[in-house]
Amino acid sequence: MKSSIWLTILKKIGSQKVATVMMILLLILTYLGTLEQAEHGLYRVQQTYFESWGLVHHFGSDWWFVPSEAFSFSIPLPGGMTCMIIFTINLLVGGILLLKLQKRNFGIFIIHVGIALMMCAGLVKLKASDEGYLQLWESQEASEYISHHSWEVAVFETGNGSVDEHLVLFDRMAGESELSIEPTTGLPFQLKLSGALANCRALPVGPNWTPDSPAIDGWGLLEQEEIAENEQNLPGLTIDMIPTRLEDGSRQQALLWGGQNYPWTFTVANKTFAVALRKIRHSMPFSIRLDNFEKVDHPGISMAKEYRSDVTQTAAASQRKIRIEMNDPLRDQGLILFQSSWGPSNAAPDAELYSVFTVVRNPSDQWPLYSCIVIGIGMAITFIQKFLAYSKKQAKRHKEIS
């Protein structure tokens, strides 16, 4: 009895109806997300529509002859994450677990395994990958790349030589009025982070505006509406430093802003420390030096036809020269460096340019390729089986006619 209940539930979960509903929902999400992207930007739409558990979509009239207040309603929708998880479970149950594996449907089974692998690649990319950019002028060298969207607070002792940066993710401030960070080895003070603003400007406090943060040293943070292009948002917050021991120094307060020129510095126990609010920096296991950047324009206009970078990659014991250009990235030690951009965009014709690489660390980088190979094998098996069955059937039919 119990067995049949489980089987019924499993059949429901793995049914084609569920798969069809999920595919339709994913189609709707893709359509609505694409439309929303124009207004809210790629990053926010990606988070709201494709990487969320659920969302509420607002429909409004875009036609001039229909007043928006007369045609406006909202509907809740499952997010892309929910749909993909249900779709994957549906696939695992219906396409693999419940599939009565036989010679005739072996190709179908292989195809389902390939699709499941593709789903896994997506999940691993979502949860375990990071992405950023590396901007280099000619003869400049770097061994780290900077996140496009995520911010962190870095605390370190100033001085020459190696630096230990203690990091607090800015996202931890979401929904928190204050975040307290206790002292740790080498940092004899407590930090209190408060008043986080997603996008703001640091301005001298004047008579005509009241800052959205405490006014410190004559400056304050003015909150601004978030920009659709998330890369342009500059967060800010207020930081309080409380020495562990009273004799080490006094409590100090400062503003941190994403667009600051210099980190905030303070002295505790005769040591100078710095705090920077910055985009997350990821270390690379090698360094890249830009030797030469070349941009070729279309004839007569300043639009780039192609651009490429000659770089020197230096690892612990080796050095090699590589050319990175569009569709020909550098892949090494789990990182992929794509030639993505250049600048400054308003540079004079003979001015020096910098090269921008998009750096991706994705453990499942090659999985879609493997998935396509598996699906291709499954499809080939299925088509051959179908073709042989059809040939056999036709031969039998001809035999009967003759």
Give the span between the Cα atoms of 198 and 340, in whole angstroms.
26
- Extract the tokens encoding 250: 């006094």
> CB-wise, 214 or 325, nearer to another protein?
214
**Which one, 37 or 362, has the nearer CB to another protein?**
362
Q: What residues contact residue 125 under an 8 Å CB cut-off, 6+ apart?
A: 362, 364
- CB of residue 10 vs another protein: minimum separation in angstroms? 6
Q: How far is CA 35 from CA 47, 61, 67, 168, 247, in A?
A: 14, 13, 20, 35, 59
| Crossing angle (nearest 10°) for helices 80-90 and 16-40 | 160
**C-beta of 255: minimal distance to another protein in Å?**
7
Kind of pairing between the strands at 304-314 and 178-181? unpaired
Phi-psi region of 269 (alpha: psi -120 to 50; beta: other; left: phi over 0): left
CB 264, min distance to another protein, A = 7
Query: What are the residues whose beta carbons fall under 8 Å from the beta carbon of 37, sequence distance 6 or more?
Result: 45
Q: Which is nearer to another protein, 89 or 336 (CB)?
A: 89
Closest to another protein by CB, 57 vs 172, is: 172
CB 239, min distance to another protein, A: 12
Q: How far is the CB of 31 from another protein (least distance, A)?
A: 26
Q: ∠69-75-79 over CA atoms, to 5°?
A: 135
Residue 288: both structure tokens together: 């890249």
Minimum CB separation of residue 32 from another protein in Å reads 24
Smallest separation (angstroms) from another protein to the CB of 164: 5
**Distance (Å, whole) CA 31 – CA 19:** 18
Q: How far apart are CA 183 and CA 179, in angstroms?
A: 13
Distance from C-alpha of 20 to C-alpha of 355, rounded to nearest angstrom: 45
Both tokens assigned to 50: 């494709």
Nearer to another protein, 235 or 329 (CB): 235
CA distance linking residue 141 with residue 314, whole number of Å: 10
- At closest approach, how far in Å is the CB of 397 from another protein? 21
Is the Cβ of residue 164 or residue 306 nearer to another protein in the bound state? 164
Contact 361, 333 (CB under 8 A): no
- Residue closer to another protein by CB (options 49, 109) is 109
Both tokens of 107, joined, read: 């190709």
CB atoms within 10 A of CB 114: 21
Q: Which of 74, 126, 120, 72 is nearest to 96 (CA)?
A: 120
Structure tokens at 300: 């007569």
Residue 246 CB, shortest distance to another protein, in Å, is 21
Is the Cβ–Cβ distance between 359 and 284 less than 8 Å? Answer: yes
- Please report how close the Cβ of residue 116 comes to another protein at its closest, in angstroms: 11
**In this complex, which beta carbon is closest to another protein, that of residue 38 or of residue 163?**
163
Handedness of CA 46, 49, 52, 55 (dihedral sign): positive
The nearer residue to another protein, 38 or 128, going by C-beta atoms, is: 128
Query: Which of 280, 330 has the CB closer to another protein?
Result: 280
